[in-house]
Amino acid sequence: SSARVAVDAALLDALPRARIVAHFGVGYDNVDAAHAKARGMVVTNTPDVLTDCVADLAIALMVDVARGVTAGDRYVRAGRWLKGAMPLAAKVSGKRLGIVGLGRIGRAVARRAEAFDMEIRYHNRRQAPDSPYAWEKSLADLARWCDFLVVATSGGAESRGLVSAAVIEALGPKGFLVNIARGSVVDEPALVAALAERRIAGAALDVFADEPRVPEALLALENVVLTPHIASATTDTRAAMGQLVLDNLAAFFETGRALTPV
């Protein structure tokens, strides 16, 4: 399976002989894992092999939206440079980074951000005992504190709308939001309104609530960077993900145990 296909209870029940759902991706919120397990099925995903590429894109999007990289490209191509200099941008190095979800990907983002001398804090449901970074129990407080808020938490019912209108408001007019998690985690209408009204400085989004459809209002905004869910989309990573799917299937049918069950 993949993120483009909903593996719901109806589909699972239509496959009475199926024993395993081998998912191509780390997030499996499109799979009814609880129903699968109730039927005695194993669900697997592809963790670790995509961590680096997803974290790389998070940093790239953060730099892009703050420094105006793709905005600058549009500026030059439209001939606007001939009429005057582009407006000044925001600095990244030395700023405050808040990470929503300090899992594998969140930690990889943090490691990269250290090279930018950023001060790092995070929000999880529970404090990570082995983390060198400060934990913020309140996501709104984290948003209020940081300059950049990177969303790296898993999708699903528990995180739906986690980055609410109140959290977006707390980020403030100088704050930037980067989402490389799931579109469902962010209140998309509230984000669109905040961007349009300049109540936050900008956003960089690789994921959306109803992919591949993107709100027309987002497409019209200059203070947002949009990419088509490409965080893991490199040849190396997609090959590794595909191999892990095959390895999970082989291990399950040979030994009865998958390599990366969820």
Catalytic residue positions, numbered: 182, 211, 229
Task: Kindly state the DSSP code that residue 134 receives in the 8-state scheme.
Answer: E
Please tell me whether residue 256 adopts helix, strand or coil conformation.
Answer: coil
Neighbour count for residue 17 (Cβ, 10 Å)? 4
Q: Are 98 and 149 in contact (CB under 8 A)?
A: yes
Give the residues across from 183 on adjacent strands: none
Q: How many angstroms separate the Cα of 213 from the Cα of each of 15, 103, 210, 228?
A: 30, 28, 6, 10
Question: Amino acid letter at 137?
Answer: K
Q: How far apart are CA 241 and CA 233, in angstroms?
A: 10
Token pair for residue 180? Answer: 């490389």
Give the residues across from 192 on adjacent strands: none
| In 32-103, alpha helices (H) | 33-38, 51-67, 69-77
Neighbour count for residue 119 (Cβ, 10 Å)? 16
44: nearest Cα among 246, 254, 229 = 246
Q: Are 164 and 189 in contact (CB under 8 A)?
A: no
